[in-house]
Amino acid sequence: MKYDVCVIGGCSLDQTFFQKVDGSYNETPDNISPGGKGANQAVAASKAGAKTVILTRLGKDEIGDKILSNLKNYQVNTTYVEIEDGLENDYTNIYINLKDKDNEMVRFSGAINSFTPAMIDRYKDIILKSKIVVCQLKVPKEVTVSLINLCYENNKILILTPCRPDKLSITDKENIDLIDKISLITCNKKECMTIFGTDDIESCVKKYPNKLIVTLGDKGLIYYNGKRIINMKAIETEVIDTTGAGDTLNGNLSAFLANGMDLEHALRKAMYASSMKLTKSTAQAGMPYLEDLENFIQRKRNKNFLYSEELNYALDIIKDAYDLVKYTTKYQINTKEDNSLVTNADLDIEKYLINKIKEKFPNDSFVTEEYCPDGKISNRCWIIDPIDGTAHFIKKDGLWGIQLAFYDKDDTRFSIIYLPDKKELYYAAQNIGAFLNNNKILPTEPSPLVQSIIEFGGSLYKETDTKKMIFEKLKEKDHLIISNILHINSCCISYTNLVSKKTDGLIVSTSKPWDIIPGEFLCKCCGIPIYYIDSNKKVRLLTNNEDIKNLILSK
């Protein structure tokens, strides 16, 4: 079996004491729950959606049983947990102060000291079958060294949290070579200072681009991406308990990297997870599940948006609308006057969206493809396409979506494009930005013409003379100047292809508002301009590639 995340580390029982108003603590703990950095990071990764396995050791007693049961409860694979008679389990007393909810820990180590390098050899196949490996420095150092060497020799991504930073201090010259072999090091400022012997954090991260990530508490985190210092601000939130916040960050980071996310997006999303954990007491129980995290991110990000209530509501109901047809296998298919297709699924989704919006905003108006195609776009108007790409929906090829936009005070304020089969949710909000699955869509460098793909989106048969002229410009004798030409008769796919960099330029001649307004607003929020190709402004080019623009608009 292959795993997304393999965690090698210890488990413990956390005994938490909350400071009282008079400054004292109770003699007995206020809360007892499983913890430990290894277990915490494994639980965080699992709750973030990663298939997670843990390699650890436990004493065979009531505490060990409780720890093991808790890991299983959070869907962490415990097949390779070693349980031994007579081995004392670890436990930690955690004291949460009243002022800033920070914690002071007193640790009592047992099973974690029994780890040996032989474990790394024993579970070599499990480690190498995992996408991401996560470890700490709490186990004996020789165990971590063996793991680092194994991962380095096999090009396996290893994330290390140096919670015993003195073990990695560069005063020991051998540690410099060891650091070079580690894929990612996530540490706090104090740990960084201990390792590198300086408080100049920027100089440290510059020396290790895309490797050294330093958390700065309420100042966020810092790392160097090879071109510039990235300083991510902390997410403001109410702090109840800081226990496990760092483990939440690391567990979520490993899960998102295993899912193919780039480092910057994975870190930002993991920061939201860590922030969400701060609002809950105890470590593992306070760590968010992925679905709850997505909702938390949306509401945090949109909090100051003028239309946050409308946007958050729309993001919820557009997913619910898909559930109406998710398991339907047969459809009633009809042909409209323009020869386009419509199914009962189109009608059901549109009716659902209209009714739900009317419940919440009864005075709003609608322009929609099926029930309100002739409506006038005015203030507080919802523009809805229940299924864009109905023919693709019928064929179940994934090239369809649900899209909507909200218009008020003479401008589009936000839009959403949901591609259920692709598991992609795009949304854009004025002055907030554009996002794909809650990850901000960042600008990228334009591709050379020879590597570029141009798409003709929507109906291919409209404005054919202009499109023939464009095609002639895209070829030189018997070959294309660009890499390729694409056509899909589904506007939601065409616009999302462009903003996600699957294509580099888009030619559109469709003019129906439900087809183009959601996608063009999305492109606008991504900084992609629109150029009119013909004098009657029916054919448009969307691209942020100057070479494509100059080629197509040339006389």
Backbone angles phi, psi at 97, to 5 degrees: -80, 160
410 catalytic residue (yes or no): no
Q: How many CB atoms sit inside 10 A of residue 170's CB?
A: 15
Q: How far apart are CA 486 and CA 79, in angstroms?
A: 48
Alpha carbon 509 to its chain's center: 33
In the chain, the amino acid numbered 75 is: Q
Secondary element (H or E) of residue 250: helix 245-258
Q: How many CB atoms sit inside 10 A of residue 308's CB?
A: 17
3-state SS, residue 457: strand
Q: How many CB atoms sit inside 10 A of residue 457's CB?
A: 28
Q: How far apart are CA 254 and CA 161, in angstroms?
A: 12
237 CB-contact burial (10 Å; exposed 0-12 / middle 13-18 / buried 19+): middle
Structural contact between residues 192 and 201, judged by C-beta atoms closer than 8 angstroms: yes
Of 4, 14, 241, 247, catalytic: 247
Secondary element (H or E) of residue 408: strand 401-408
Q: How far apart are CA 290 and CA 300, in angstroms?
A: 15
Q: How many CB atoms sit inside 10 A of residue 394's CB?
A: 15
Q: Which residues are part of the catalytic machinery? A: 247
